[in-house]
C-alpha cells in the first residue's frame, strides 16, 4: 500500500531540488524544499514533516550538523543523507547520528522514490504499533544496507507483507532472519495483532508440541494444568517458526495439518481449534537437502516454501559493513552512556577484512564489546579484536594440522583427541560470543540445540 507523506528536501542545487520535488509530488507526497541547513531547521520547527532528505555538502551548516540537530528535535522522523562520496567514515557518522539511510550521487528518481516509500512505511508501522501495542512493539525494525541484494529483499518484503502468503526465510545463522520476519509483520495487515516466535530447536519433541499447540491437564506426565499454546496466542497475527529444520517428523505432520486445514488440536484435546495466523518460517539449513534425505517432509516443505526469501551472508555484502557498524555504534553509545565518535581507518579496515562467520550477529557483538572496552573516543583495531579462547584444560586451542601440506608430526597424533579439542575450542568461543546462550551458540555453530546441550554437558564447558 502506497503511503503519502510530508517531506522536506534540502540541497543547495536548485535543479536538484526541482527534480526531486517533481518526482515525489507525482507519487502524491507533499514536498517542501530548502537551500541550506539553517533554512531547513526553521522550516522543520514550523512544520511537522514525516521525513527529511538533505545533502551532505552545503554552504554554512553541513549535512552532519543538520542531521544531528534534526534528530534532537524529532528522533522519530527518518532522515536520509545524500552524498557524492562513498567513504565509510561518512556512512558511519551518519548512522551513528541516527540517519535512516543514505543515497550516493548520482541517483535516479526511482532510487529516491523507493527509499522514501520504505522510510514512510516504517514510520507508519512503528507509530501504529506503538499506539496499539506500546509495551511490545519493536522499535527501529528495518534492514540496513544499500547493496543490490538488500534492495531486492526490501522490494520483495514490500510486495509480500500485505498478503497472507506463507514465507520461508533462509540464510546462515546471524543474518537477520527474525528481523525480516518482524518487518513482514509490521508491514502487514496483521501488524496490530501479536507476533509470536518459537525456536523449534530449543525444545524436545514433546515440549515443542506443547508449546505450539498447547495441552490439556493430564495429557502427559507433568501436565498438571491446561496450557494455552503459542498458536492460539498468535490468533489474528503472525506465527514465526524459527529453526524449523530442527522440528521432529511427528511435529511436522501436525504442523502440516494446520497449514492445510487452518485447524489444530491441543495435546489431549479432541475438539479442533481455528488457527487464523500468518506463518513465517526460518532456517539456516538446506530444507531441500533434508527433504531428499528424509529428515523433512516433502509435503510440508512445499506448504511452507510459498515465498522464499534468502538472506546473503555478510561477507557477500561488505559495502554494508560501515552502515551496520555505525548503526550498532549508535545503539551501544546510547545503551552504555558512551560518546564514541567512530572508528580509526585501521579498525574499519579490520572490520571490512573479517570473514564474519557469525554474520551480522557477530558484527553486533563485536561493536558492543568495542564500545564497552574502548578507552578513548575512537575505536581502534585492538578494541575489536576477539578474545582468545581456551580449551577445556585452560590451554590455548590447538592449531589445525594443514591438510593441504599432507604432513603430520613425526610421532603422529591422536586424531579423536585432537578433534575433540578443536570442537571444544569452537564451542567455548561460541559460548563466549553469546554470553553463554546455548540457543545462539548453536546457531553460530550450525548445530541443533539438543546437540550443543549434550556436548556442553559432556565436555563440562558450562
pLDDT 10s per residue in the chain (462 long)? 456 889 999 999 999 999 999 999 999 999 999 999 999 999 999 998 999 999 988 888 988 889 988 988 888 888 998 877 656 677 777 777 778 887 877 888 888 888 888 888 777 766 655 444 433 333 455 678 878 888 889 889 988 998 889 999 999 988 999 999 999 998 888 988 999 999 998 888 878 888 898 877 766 666 667 788 888 899 999 999 999 999 999 999 999 999 999 898 888 777 888 889 999 999 998 899 999 999 999 999 999 999 999 999 999 999 899 989 998 998 899 888 888 989 999 999 999 999 898 899 999 999 999 999 899 999 999 998 865 544 444 444 444 333 333 456 666 766 666 677 778 888 888 888 887 888 888 878 878 777 788 788 777 776
d(CA 103, CA 107) in angstroms, rounded, equals 7
Q: Record the cell numbers describing residue 399, joined without a space.
A: 592449531
- Going from the C-alpha of 56 to that of each of 45, 60, 79, the distances in angstroms are 20, 11, 12
**Is the CATH number 3.40.50.300 carried by domain 148-310?**
yes
d(CA 192, CA 133) in angstroms, rounded, equals 7
Residue 202 makes CB contacts below 8 A (sequence gap 6+) with: 243, 439, 449
pLDDT of the residue at 134: 36
Count of CB atoms within 10 A of residue 263's CB?
Answer: 12
β pairing state of 342-343 and 307-310: unpaired
- Going from the C-alpha of 143 to that of each of 150, 151, 425, 449, the distances in angstroms are 7, 9, 33, 27
d(CA 293, CA 6) in angstroms, rounded, equals 54
CATH number of 317-384: 1.10.8.60
- Going from the C-alpha of 276 to that of each of 129, 234, 262, 345, 398, the distances in angstroms are 20, 8, 7, 52, 53
Is there a contact between 315 and 355 (Cβ–Cβ < 8 Å)?
yes
Q: Record the cell numbers describing residue 137, joined without a space.
A: 512493539
- Please report how many Cα atoms fall inside a 13 Å half-sphere around the Cα of residue 4, on the Cβ side: 8
pTM metric for this prediction: 0.65
β pairing state of 278-283 and 167-170: parallel
Is there a contact between 389 and 425 (Cβ–Cβ < 8 Å)?
yes
Closest to 154 (Cα-Cα) out of 186, 128, 130, 129 = 186
β pairing state of 214-215 and 227-228: antiparallel
pLDDT of the residue at 436: 80
Give domain 6-132's CATH superfamily: Response regulator (3.40.50.2300)
Question: Would you mind telling me the total number of residues written for the chain in this entry?
Answer: 462
Q: Record the cell numbers describing residue 426, joined without a space.
A: 569452537
DSSP label of 406: T
Domains of the chain: which residue ranges? 6-132, 148-310, 317-384, 387-462
Is there a contact between 193 and 236 (Cβ–Cβ < 8 Å)?
yes
- Going from the C-alpha of 446 to that of each of 174, 181, 285, 450, the distances in angstroms are 10, 20, 8, 12
Closest to 209 (Cα-Cα) out of 235, 226, 225, 231 = 231
Q: Is the peptide bond before 37 cis (omega within 30 degrees of 0)?
A: no
Q: Record the cell numbers describing residue 54, joined without a space.
A: 538533505
DSSP H helical ranges for 308-380: 321-336, 345-353, 359-373
What is the fold, at CATH topology level, of the domain defined by 387-462? Arc Repressor Mutant, subunit A (1.10.10)
d(CA 222, CA 143) in angstroms, rounded, equals 42
Closest to 185 (Cα-Cα) out of 148, 257, 136, 255 = 136
- Whether 6-132 shares its CATH topology with 148-310 is answered yes
Q: Using CA of residue 178, residue 184, residue 189, residue 192, what is the dihedral sign?
A: positive
d(CA 325, CA 365) in angstroms, rounded, equals 11
Going edge to edge, which strands form the sheet with 167-170?
195-199, 238-242, 278-283, 167-170, 307-310
Radius of gyration for the alpha carbons in the chain, expressed in angstroms and rounded: 25
Closest to 360 (Cα-Cα) out of 332, 389, 318 = 318
Amino acid at each position: 500500500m502506497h503511503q503519502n507523506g510530508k517531506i522536506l528536501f534540502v540541497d543547495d542545487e536548485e535543479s536538484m531540488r526541482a527534480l526531486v520535488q517533481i518526482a515525489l509530488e507525482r507519487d502524491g507526497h507533499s514536498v517542501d524544499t530548502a537551500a541550506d541547513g539553517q533554512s531547513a531547521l526553521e522550516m522543520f520547527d514550523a512544520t511537522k514533516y514525516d521525513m527529511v532528505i538533505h545533502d551532505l555538502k552545503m554552504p554554512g551548516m553541513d549535512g552532519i550538523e543538520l542531521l544531528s540537530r534534526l534528530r534532537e528535535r524529532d528522533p522519530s522522523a527518518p532522515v536520509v543523507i545524500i552524498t557524492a562520496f562513498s567513504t565509510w567514515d561518512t556512512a558511519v557518522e551518519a548512522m551513528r547520528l541516527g540517519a535512516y539511510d543514505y543515497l550516493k550521487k548520482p541517483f535516479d528518481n526511482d532510487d529516491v522514490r523507493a527509499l522514501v516509500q520504505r522510510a514512510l512505511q516504517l514510520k507508519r508501522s512503528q507509530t501504529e504499533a506503538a499506539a496499539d501495542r506500546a509495551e511490545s512493539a519493536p522499535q527501529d525494525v528495518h534492514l540496513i544496507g544499500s547493496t543490490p541484494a538488500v534492495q531486492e529483499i526490501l522490494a520483495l518484503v514490500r510486495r509480500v507483507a500485505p498478503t497472507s502468503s506463507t514465507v520461508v526465510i533462509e540464510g546462515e545463522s546471524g543474518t537477520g532472519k527474525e528481523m525480516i520476519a518482524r518487518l513482514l509483520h509490521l508491514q502487514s495487515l496483521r501488524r496490530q495483532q501479536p507476533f509470536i516466535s518459537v525456536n523449534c530447536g530449543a525444545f524436545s519433541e514433546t515440549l515443542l508440541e506443547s508449546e505450539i499447540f498447547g495441552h490439556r491437564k493430564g495429557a502427559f506426565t507433568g501436565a498438571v494444568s491446561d496450557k494455552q499454546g503459542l498458536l492460539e496466542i498468535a490468533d489474528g497475527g503472525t506465527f514465526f517458526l524459527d529453526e524449523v529444520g530442527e522440528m521432529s517428523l511427528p511435529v511436522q505432520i501436525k504442523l502440516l495439518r494446520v497449514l492445510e486445514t487452518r485447524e489444530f488440536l491441543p495435546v489431549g484435546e479432541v475438539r479442533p481449534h481455528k488457527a487464523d495466523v500468518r506463518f513465517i518460517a526460518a532456517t539456516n539449513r538446506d530444507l531441500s537437502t533434508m527433504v531428499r534425505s528424509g529428515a523433512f517432509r516433502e509435503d510440508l516443505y512445499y506448504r511452507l516454501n510459498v515465498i522464499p526469501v534468502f538472506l546473503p551472508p555478510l561477507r557477500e555484502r561488505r559495502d554494508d559493513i560501515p552502515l551496520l557498524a555505525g548503526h550498532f555504534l549508535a545503539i551501544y553509545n546510547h545503551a552504555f552512556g558512551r560518546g564514541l565518535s567512530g572508528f580509526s581507518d585501521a579498525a574499519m579496515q579490520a572490520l571490512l577484512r573479517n570473514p564474519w562467520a557469525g554474520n551480522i550477529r557477530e558484527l553486533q557483538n563485536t561493536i558492543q564489546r568495542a564500545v564497552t572496552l574502548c578507552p578513548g573516543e575512537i575505536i581502534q583495531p585492538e578494541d575489536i579484536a576477539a578474545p582468545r579462547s581456551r580449551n577445556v584444560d585452560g590451554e590455548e586451542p590447538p592449531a589445525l594440522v594443514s591438510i593441504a601440506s599432507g604432513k603430520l608430526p613425526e610421532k603422529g597424533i591422536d586424531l579423536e583427541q585432537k578433534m575433540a579439542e578443536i570442537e571444544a575450542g569452537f564451542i567455548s568461543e561460541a559460548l563466549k560470543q553469546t554470553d553463554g546462550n546455548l540457543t545462539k551458540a548453536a546457531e553460530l555453530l550450525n548445530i541443533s540445540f539438543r546437540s550443543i546441550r549434550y556436548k556442553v554437558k559432556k565436555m563440562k564447558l558450562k
